[in-house]
Structure 1
Amino acid sequence: MTILLACLGVFAAYLPVVGVSVALPVIQRALDASTVELQWVTDAFILPTAALLLTCGVLGERYGRKKVYTAGLTLFCLGSLVCLLAPNVALVCVGQALTGVGAAALLPATLALINHVCPDHGRRARAIALWTASLGLGLTLGPVINGVIVEHLSWRWIFLPALVIGAVVAVVGIFLLEETGASRTRHLDVPGQLLAVVAITGLVYGVIEGGSAGWTTPKALVAFVVAAAGFLAFVLVELRSPAPMLDMRLFASRGFSGAAFIMAATLFAQVGLVFAVSEYFGLVHHASTLDIGLRLLALNGITVLVGPFVGRLMNRTSPGLVLITGLVVGGVGALGVCLFHASTDTTTAALLIAVLGTGIALAIAPITTIAMNSVPRELAGTAGAANSALRQIGSALGPAVFGAVLTDRTLAALPGHLAASGLNPAAQGKVEGLVSHVGIQAGAFLRLDTPAATGQAMSAYGASFTDALHVCALISGFGLLVAAGVGLVLIGVRRQAPQQVAAASVPAQAAVPVAVADES
Structure 2
Amino acid sequence: MTILLACIGVFASYLPVVGVSVALPVIQQALDASTAELQWVTDAFILPTAALLLTCGVLGERYGRKKVYLAGLAVFCAGSLLCLSAQDVVLVCAGQALAGVGTAALLPSTLALIGHVCPDHRVRARAIALWTASLGLGLTLGPIINGVIVEHLSWRWIFLPALVIGAVVVVVGAFLLDETKAKRAPHLDVPGQVLAVVTITALVYAVIEGGSGDWSAAKVVAAFAVAAAALVAFVTMELHSSGPMLDMRLFGSRVFSGAAFVMGITLFAQVGLVFALSEYFGLVHHASTLDIGIRLLALNGITVVLGPFVGRLMNRTGPGPVLVAGLVFGGVGALCVCSFHASTGTANAALLIAVLGIGIALALAPITTIAMNSVPRDLAGTAGAANSALRQIGSALGPAVFGAILTDRTVAALPGHLASSGLGPADQGKVGGLVSNVGIQAGAFLRLDTPAATGRAMSAYGASFTDALHVCALVSGIGMLVAAGVAAVVIGFRNHAPQDAARPAPAQPTVPVAAADHG
TM-score normalized with structure 1 length: 0.95
**Secondary structure in 1 aligned to 2:511?**
helix
2:88 & 2:50 partners in 1: Cα distance?
25
**Secondary structure in 1 aligned to 2:449?**
coil
Q: How big is the shift at 1:417?
A: 1.3
- The question of 1:247 aligning with 2:247 is answered yes
Structure 1 residues 191-206: aligned runs within 5 Å: 191-206=191-206
- The question of 1:166 aligning with 2:166 is answered yes
- 1:471 corresponds in structure 2 to 471
1:160 & 1:497 partners in 2: Cα distance?
41
Higher mean Cα deviation, 351-360 or 450-459?
450-459
1:145 & 1:196 partners in 2: Cα distance?
34
The residue identity in structure 2 corresponding to 1:56 is C
- 1:71 corresponds in structure 2 to 71
The residue identity in structure 1 corresponding to 2:60 is G
- 1:339 corresponds in structure 2 to 339
Aligned 8 A contact 1:64 1:183 in 2? no
% identity of equivalent residues:
80
- 2:102 corresponds in structure 1 to 102
- The question of 1:370 aligning with 2:376 is answered no
- 1:313 corresponds in structure 2 to 313
The residue identity in structure 2 corresponding to 1:175 is F
1:265 & 1:511 partners in 2: Cα distance?
22
The residue identity in structure 1 corresponding to 2:334 is A
The residue identity in structure 1 corresponding to 2:289 is T
Q: Deviations over 1:255-278 (max 9, x none)?
A: 221111101000111111111111
Q: How big is the shift at 1:368?
A: 0.7
- 1:392 corresponds in structure 2 to 392
Q: Deviations over 1:285-316 (max 9, x none)?
A: 11001100110001011111111211100111
1:378–1:178 Cα change, 3 Å:
same
Structure 1 residues 2-17: aligned runs within 5 Å: 2-17=2-17
- 2:141 corresponds in structure 1 to 141
2:492 & 2:53 partners in 1: Cα distance?
28
2:403 & 2:413 partners in 1: Cα distance?
15
Q: How big is the shift at 1:215?
A: 2.7
1:375 & 1:253 partners in 2: Cα distance?
12
Structure 1 residues 151-162: aligned runs within 5 Å: 151-162=151-162
Q: How big is the shift at 1:327?
A: 0.3
Higher mean Cα deviation, 305-314 or 413-422?
413-422
1:511 & 1:402 partners in 2: Cα distance?
33
1:201 & 1:437 partners in 2: Cα distance?
25
The residue identity in structure 2 corresponding to 1:440 is I
The residue identity in structure 1 corresponding to 2:386 is A
2:224 & 2:304 partners in 1: Cα distance?
36
1:410 & 1:26 partners in 2: Cα distance?
21
1:142 & 1:307 partners in 2: Cα distance?
18
1:150 & 1:244 partners in 2: Cα distance?
45
- 2:462 corresponds in structure 1 to 462
Q: Deviations over 1:378-423 (max 9, x none)?
A: 3322221111111111111111111111111111211111112222
Higher mean Cα deviation, 134-143 or 185-194?
185-194
The residue identity in structure 1 corresponding to 2:252 is A
1:108–1:216 Cα change, 3 Å:
farther
Q: How big is the shift at 1:202?
A: 2.0
1:304 & 1:103 partners in 2: Cα distance?
20
Q: How big is the shift at 1:470?
A: 0.8
Q: How big is the shift at 1:377?
A: 2.3
1:227–1:155 Cα change, 3 Å:
same
The residue identity in structure 1 corresponding to 2:85 is L
2:477 & 2:455 partners in 1: Cα distance?
32
Aligned 8 A contact 2:342 2:463 in 1? yes
Q: How big is the shift at 1:225?
A: 1.7
- 1:509 corresponds in structure 2 to 511
Higher mean Cα deviation, 33-42 or 465-474?
33-42
Unaligned runs of 5+ in 1: none
Higher mean Cα deviation, 453-462 or 490-499?
490-499
Aligned 8 A contact 2:382 2:513 in 1? no
1:134 & 1:231 partners in 2: Cα distance?
33
2:207 & 2:431 partners in 1: Cα distance?
28
Structure 1 residues 258-269: aligned runs within 5 Å: 258-269=258-269
1:465–1:494 Cα change, 3 Å:
same
Q: How big is the shift at 1:494?
A: 2.2
1:376–1:497 Cα change, 3 Å:
closer
The residue identity in structure 1 corresponding to 2:427 is A
- 1:294 corresponds in structure 2 to 294
Structure 1 residues 24-43: aligned runs within 5 Å: 24-43=24-43
Aligned 8 A contact 1:79 1:99 in 2? yes
Aligned 8 A contact 1:253 1:374 in 2? no
1:366–1:182 Cα change, 3 Å:
closer
1:80–1:511 Cα change, 3 Å:
closer
Q: Deviations over 1:140-188 (max 9, x none)?
A: 1111101100101122211110110000111111111111116574211
TM-score normalized with structure 2 length: 0.96
1:391 & 1:365 partners in 2: Cα distance?
12
Aligned 8 A contact 1:379 1:508 in 2? no
1:76–1:511 Cα change, 3 Å:
closer
**Secondary structure in 2 aligned to 1:347?**
helix
1:460–1:30 Cα change, 3 Å:
closer
Q: How big is the shift at 1:216?
A: 2.5
- 2:271 corresponds in structure 1 to 271
1:55 & 1:186 partners in 2: Cα distance?
10
**Secondary structure in 2 aligned to 1:509?**
coil
**Secondary structure in 2 aligned to 1:448?**
coil
The residue identity in structure 1 corresponding to 2:344 is T
2:212 & 2:363 partners in 1: Cα distance?
31
1:383–1:209 Cα change, 3 Å:
farther
1:470 & 1:28 partners in 2: Cα distance?
24
**Secondary structure in 2 aligned to 1:421?**
coil
Structure 1 residues 179-258: aligned runs within 5 Å: 179-181=179-181, 185-258=185-258
1:436–1:512 Cα change, 3 Å:
closer
Q: How big is the shift at 1:217?
A: 2.2
2:208 & 2:432 partners in 1: Cα distance?
24
1:510 & 1:341 partners in 2: Cα distance?
50
Q: Deviations over 1:454-485 (max 9, x none)?
A: 22221111111111111111110000000001
Q: Give the superposed CA RMSD.
A: 1.8
Q: How big is the shift at 1:69?
A: 0.2
- The question of 1:491 aligning with 2:491 is answered yes
2:379 & 2:144 partners in 1: Cα distance?
37
1:392 & 1:142 partners in 2: Cα distance?
18
Q: How big is the shift at 1:510?
A: 6.7
1:209 & 1:430 partners in 2: Cα distance?
24
Q: How big is the shift at 1:23?
A: 1.7
Q: How big is the shift at 1:497?
A: 4.8
